[in-house]
Amino acid sequence: MDYKKLCFQVQDIAREVGGFIRDEQKKLSAENIEVKSVASLVTYVDKTAEQRIITALRELIPDSGFVAEEGTADSNNEKYTWFVDPLDGTTNYLFGVSPHSVSIALAEDDKMVLGVVYEIGADELFYAWKGSAAYCNGKEIKTATRSKSEETLIGTGFPYYDFDRVDDYIEAMRYLMKNTLGLRRFGSAAVDLCYVACGRFDAFYEHALHAWDVAAGVFILQQAGGKITDFNGGDNWLFGGQLISASGSYFNEFYSIINGYLGEKQ
């Protein structure tokens, strides 16, 4: 597999679909919006974008499987599996707020080998492939080198379901508000992870996530020098719904903070 060539083909798909998403924004009205659950919205744009992405990716690898947000395709233990979020940040998109993004990742035998995140509003394309550095719009990116909490800017997200840990979550936020330069909640986990990859954030954590939210961003972050774990120090971040990520220089301190508030109590 020529991962570099494949990555650039996926970038073309992400840009093309991102253009469709951008063009459709001005056409949307209230009757186009479906409520999947409280604070979880979907439109024909999400569904059409996903169908376009899957059709194009199937041309690249015909026998591949899919883990996709809108469920227009599925996976059945194929060698190659795509993780697709056609519009990460739908609520932002509907309210005319950035960021919102197209997120596409590829796993080969359960190992990520490619990630592409296209942030539509800023026209920023983040990407990496197996064995490569990480890039944004053609320039190599790396994580920040800050190592102390008082020097750092942290990204997070607010759960829109699974509120069982909300009190612990607020306590973690309280600590970070007091001991870092600040918290940011942008509403697109894929973009948040890429912001850690390029040094805009020093760390990002969230729970109640899905695999399609994080697969591409995590791979890009790892290729940029970042580290990932779940809230308990394990590797169940893809399907486990929880994620701690940070630059290599800040990871140990940040992990100890989040694990202390949100890890499983012994």
Residues 132 and 29 in one domain: yes
Query: In CATH, what number is assigned to the domain containing residue 243?
Result: 3.40.190.80
Question: What pLDDT digit, counting tens, does each position of 142-161 carry?
Answer: 999 999 999 999 999 987 76
Residues 178 and 134 in one domain: no
Residues 27 and 95 in one domain: yes
Q: What is the pTM of this model?
A: 0.94
In the predicted structure, residue 118 carries a pLDDT above the cut 60: yes
Its domain, for residue 47, covers: 3-141
Residues 116 and 158 in one domain: no
Report residue 11 as tokens.
């970038």
Residues 132 and 209 in one domain: no
Residues 258, 244 contacting (CB under 8 angstroms): yes
Question: What pLDDT digit, counting tens, does each position of 190-228 carry?
Answer: 999 999 999 999 999 999 899 999 999 999 999 999 999
d(CA 126, CA 118): 6
What pLDDT does residue 162 have? 67
What pLDDT does residue 70 have? 79
Residues 216 and 134 in one domain: no
Of the residues 141, 168, 195, which one is the last residue of a structural domain? 141
Question: What pLDDT digit, counting tens, does each position of 5-49 carry?
Answer: 999 999 999 999 999 999 988 877 656 666 554 444 567 888 899
Give the confidence band of 184 by pLDDT, cuts at 50, 70, 90.
Answer: very high
Residues 123 and 167 in one domain: no
Question: What pLDDT digit, counting tens, does each position of 165-176 carry?
Answer: 889 999 999 999
What pLDDT does residue 36 have? 56
Query: In CATH, what number is assigned to the domain containing residue 96?
Result: 3.30.540.10
Of the residues 141, 171, 199, which one is the last residue of a structural domain? 141
Residues 137 and 17 in one domain: yes
Question: What pLDDT digit, counting tens, does each position of 68-100 carry?
Answer: 987 777 777 899 999 999 999 988 998 889 999
Question: What pLDDT digit, counting tens, does each position of 231-245 carry?
Answer: 999 999 999 999 999
Of 79, 84, 48, the C-alpha closest to 66 is 84
CA distances from 59 to 12, 56, 228 (A): 13, 5, 32
What pLDDT does residue 37 have? 47
| Total tally of structural domains belonging to the chain | 2
d(CA 82, CA 16): 18
